[in-house]
Structure 1
Amino acid sequence: MALSRKVLAAGAALAALAAASQASASGFYLQEQSSRGAGRAYSGEVADSGAASLWWNPAAIAGVEHAEVYGGLHAVLVNSKVTDKGSTITRPVPVTTGVGGVGTATDVINDGVVPNFAGAWRLNDKIVLGVSMAAPYNFTTEYEANSWARYDAIKSRLTTADLQATLAYRVNDKLDLGVGISGVYADAELSNALPNASPLQADGRQELTGDGWGYGWTVGAQFHATPALTFGASYRSKTEHTLKGDVAVSGILAPLPTASNRTIAGEATITTPWMANVGARWAVTPKTTLNAQVSRVGWSEFDAIRVTFAGGGSVSEQNYKDITTVALGVDHQLTPRLTLRGGVQKDPTPTPDEGRTARVPDGDRMLYAVGATWAAKPNLNLDIAATYISFDDSEIHRTDATATGSSVTLNGLATGHATVLSTGVRWTF
């Protein structure tokens, strides 16, 4: 294989690494950033108060009177199935055959635990300092090495940590403002099979790793129209990431150039979307509060994957679309120490029908949630929640040229659902 082809192979692999990172953020963006909010399907979070709402609005802590700490854990349990519907491969010979392999993959989306933390400390009568840690884009999908989807995906893992510093300012009894700055660390791992020239030869393998930091900002406001009615609005900026990685290729057999079995370095630049939230909380009675929230997510920022490496670069155009989520919920104080809540959310996918990958077999979602808060002490609240997520069936249609000169056309069907169990604690001191 000529040097230029080696470089192109590495570039394509790094592009795939970036695509998996970005696609995971869309198909597997994790809203689980508040155990209290989970119980009402994240409705009204932009208008709620306290450290537990910092992800949604930096102004949420402006009214805290005492230091406050929140910590939460969310267990994400996914049931998923991805089925082959006639995928084919055209090798360099050329001859077109079925991709072969096991035709049904189950539980490809791994279960996981999502942690989050936030704290708020009043500096004076006007200013509150906040810090938070969120994990908004974390997922792992994994197929067997002999799966029908192996040329597109074997393992895809993305881990992120969003570290945010916040200042909130109480203008007056009616208006609170907030601003935050985030550093986002991303670490990714990706692997897939590579077809050799003959279907009688064992597959080769391509493995990728990459990581890097990105930076963003957020602003927000809350308007307390009356003691019973609060409106909130916030904006979280897009974040540009540069992932530096290594691509390791092995198992390439003659007549393909065996010199392809090597490791090469490069980097890919991607952009995660902006998010705009508006919402309200209305205490219709002293015990019952209604919540509503609309979020617009700017996935059209993901216009391309730009890859650079020794000797050149590449640009891969994408077709993600902006989406709007809508959530409604209710809180009801059943007793002085026990509050019950529930909610529902419509969450469409930004992934295009044509070009959807087996790495992220995503579809439109509906969330149904229930939760509760137990005031164990005047300064200690315990939150629990359970969420059922229904995924619409989604079709996989994608054609890609592999680094070994074959063309793979994937046709499949993805189905599934998920359950999320959340718990958290809020402590003031």
Structure 2
Amino acid sequence: MIGRIGALALAGVSALAFATGAQAGAFGLREQSSQAQGLSFAGAASGSGGISSMFWNPAVITMRPGWVTEQNLTYIGLHADIRPTAATNPGFLPLGESGDIGQGAIVPAGATSYQLSDKIWIGLQTGAPFGLITNPNKAWAGEVYGRSSRIFSLAFNPVIAYKVNDWLSIAAGPNIEYFKLTLRQAFPIAGLPTGAFPSAFLKGDAWGVGYTAGATITPWDGTVLGLGYRSSVHHDIEGSAFGVGQVKANLNTPEKLSVGLTQAINPVTRINLGFEWDNWSRLDDIAITSKVLGLPVASLPLNFKDGYTYSIGAEYDWSPSLTVRGGFSYEEVPIDDQNRSVRLPDNDRYTASIGASYRWSEKLTLNAAYSHIFLDKSNIFAGAGRNYNVGNIAFAGVVDASADIVSVGFRYVFGAPAAPLPAPIVRKF
């Protein structure tokens, strides 16, 4: 009985993330820079997102002399409807569709860098590297596989960067993450009608520490190649679950490898290319253990694949004060018909973006961007013999999803470095 209740309460742990819509494959979040957003994050690892690009590659902070801060706010409007099909358990099928499970949310992110000398910079990036919130109708055909997912997460990433010479910079630093989660889904009880079941729940939180590292290479004027790495972070989640009491689980987030290329075509035009690999395949089966019994009470079979993102974008300096940009990306997400859940009904993504920067003064630059994410319709299968199974209750559905993202931000330069350096060659904003 404990094992069954644990499985019910914990079947949605695949939703571990920040309290917003996940927009970087599975439950990852990429919304760390308004400037890079306008390029669909092409060239983010080579500095296309300003110092906020330190999320992908901390070495980019050496591209900005002096004391610089960037602050970003991003609104993610996720839209997803799950329509049950005839293969759903007939006792639940009449409960109907999920309604729009997406929840609009605002994601803050910030980055600050300070030049200590002509060779050394320090920086701090804050934001949310993972994220998800879904909230279907309380009574719907897939309620035993998910009612709500609400998780808060925040990461702090202090770094130190060293400019080795005119063409090479390197950087590294710890990545400190915290998240807190509450997940709910229907718990079937004999004698109660479907739609009137109470909610099983899982609550827990954890701290974890990893690291980031990166390098930028400028082989000649007008070209920047960036390479960045974010390590996996180990989280010992502790909390409570409905019918089980105190539980714990180990979760290792995926590593991220980012490659970016920025190439100046002429003094006012730049092309950006990007590639990201996320090692989601390290998330396979996650054991849920009772702290009282010291024994596993459930297993979460995520069975993710690796994720890959390819992006291209361009910038044009319309005037000394205005830069416009646009980009497109394609992302192979780690989720398919074999491991898709009602909490995370993801599919491969096509993203189109536009953006602009306005230089208000020598110190202040304003950024804005808009992106639309297109997803093909996808299928969900749960029940006996499937990746997700609660009490052999069959659920089959069709997902129709998309997302609209609006981001605004600013950059403020407080002052010049102690020893003046030449202005960056590739970027004006």
* Fold shared by both chains (TM-score > 0.5): yes
Instruction: Name 1:293's counterpart in structure 2.
Output: 274
Query: C-alpha displacement at 1:315, in angstroms?
Result: 4.2
Instruction: State whether structure 2 residue 272 is matched by structure 1 residue 277.
Output: no
Q: TM-score, normalised by structure 2?
A: 0.89
Query: C-alpha displacement at 1:303, in angstroms?
Result: 2.1
Report matched runs for 1:64-75 at 5 Å. Answer: 64-75=64-75
Please, which runs of 5 or more residues in structure 1 have no aligned partner? Answer: 90-96, 249-261
2:232 to 229, 238, 241: 238
Query: C-alpha displacement at 1:278, in angstroms?
Result: 1.1
CA contact (8 A) 1:355 1:399 kept: no
Instruction: Name 2:139's counterpart in structure 1.
Output: 146
**Structure (1/2) with the larger strand percentage:** 1
Query: C-alpha displacement at 1:217, in angstroms?
Result: 0.8
1:125 to 110, 118, 124: 118
Q: Distance in 1 between matches of 2:254 and 2:398?
A: 27
Instruction: Name 2:7's counterpart in structure 1.
Output: 12
Instruction: State whether structure 2 residue 383 is matched by structure 1 residue 399.
Output: yes
Residue 325 to residue 26, structure 1, CA distance change in 2 (3 Å) = closer
2:402 to 391, 414, 417: 417
| RMSD of equivalent CA atoms | 2.2
Report matched runs for 1:149-164 at 5 Å. Answer: 149-164=142-157
Q: TM-score, normalised by structure 1?
A: 0.89
Report matched runs for 1:338-353 at 5 Å. Answer: 338-353=322-337
Residue type of the alignment partner of 2:236 = T
Per-residue displacement from partner, 1:320-340 (whole Å, max 9, x unpaired)?
Answer: 111211000001000000000
CA contact (8 A) 1:13 1:247 kept: no
Q: Distance in 1 between matches of 2:111 and 2:4?
A: 43
1:389 to 339, 356, 373: 373
Instruction: Name 2:426's counterpart in structure 1.
Output: none
CA contact (8 A) 2:68 2:413 kept: yes
Report matched runs for 1:167-178 at 5 Å. Answer: 167-178=160-171
What is the percent sequence identity of the aligned residues? 29
2:241 to 239, 244, 247: 247
Report matched runs for 1:321-340 at 5 Å. Answer: 321-340=305-324
Instruction: Name 1:211's counterpart in structure 2.
Output: 205
Residue 164 to residue 53, structure 1, CA distance change in 2 (3 Å) = same
CA contact (8 A) 2:157 2:173 kept: yes
CA contact (8 A) 2:15 2:27 kept: no
What secondary structure does 2:261 align onto? strand
Residue 355 to residue 197, structure 1, CA distance change in 2 (3 Å) = farther
Residue 200 to residue 165, structure 1, CA distance change in 2 (3 Å) = closer
Query: C-alpha displacement at 1:348, in angstroms?
Result: 1.9
Q: Distance in 2 between matches of 1:194 and 1:107?
A: 22
Of the structure 1 ranges 316-325 and 112-121, higher mean CA displacement relative to structure 2 is found in 316-325
Q: Distance in 2 between matches of 1:87 and 1:198?
A: 24
Q: Distance in 1 between matches of 2:362 and 2:61?
A: 19
CA contact (8 A) 1:14 1:245 kept: no
Residue 18 to residue 331, structure 1, CA distance change in 2 (3 Å) = same
CA contact (8 A) 1:220 1:233 kept: yes
What secondary structure does 2:13 align onto? helix
1:373 to 350, 353, 357: 357
Query: C-alpha displacement at 1:103, in angstroms?
Result: 1.6
Query: C-alpha displacement at 1:138, in angstroms?
Result: 2.3
What secondary structure does 2:63 align onto? coil
CA contact (8 A) 1:14 1:268 kept: no
Query: C-alpha displacement at 1:15, in angstroms?
Result: 4.0
Report matched runs for 1:8-87 at 5 Å. Answer: 8-9=3-4, 11-13=6-8, 15-21=10-16, 26-48=25-47, 50-87=50-87
Instruction: Name 1:266's counterpart in structure 2.
Output: 247
Equivalenced residues, count: 403
2:103 to 101, 107, 110: 110
What secondary structure does 1:51 align onto? helix
Please, which runs of 5 or more residues in structure 2 have no aligned partner? Answer: 415-429
Instruction: Name 1:426's counterpart in structure 2.
Output: 411
CA contact (8 A) 2:162 2:169 kept: yes
CA contact (8 A) 2:160 2:171 kept: yes
Q: Distance in 2 between matches of 1:379 and 1:391?
A: 39
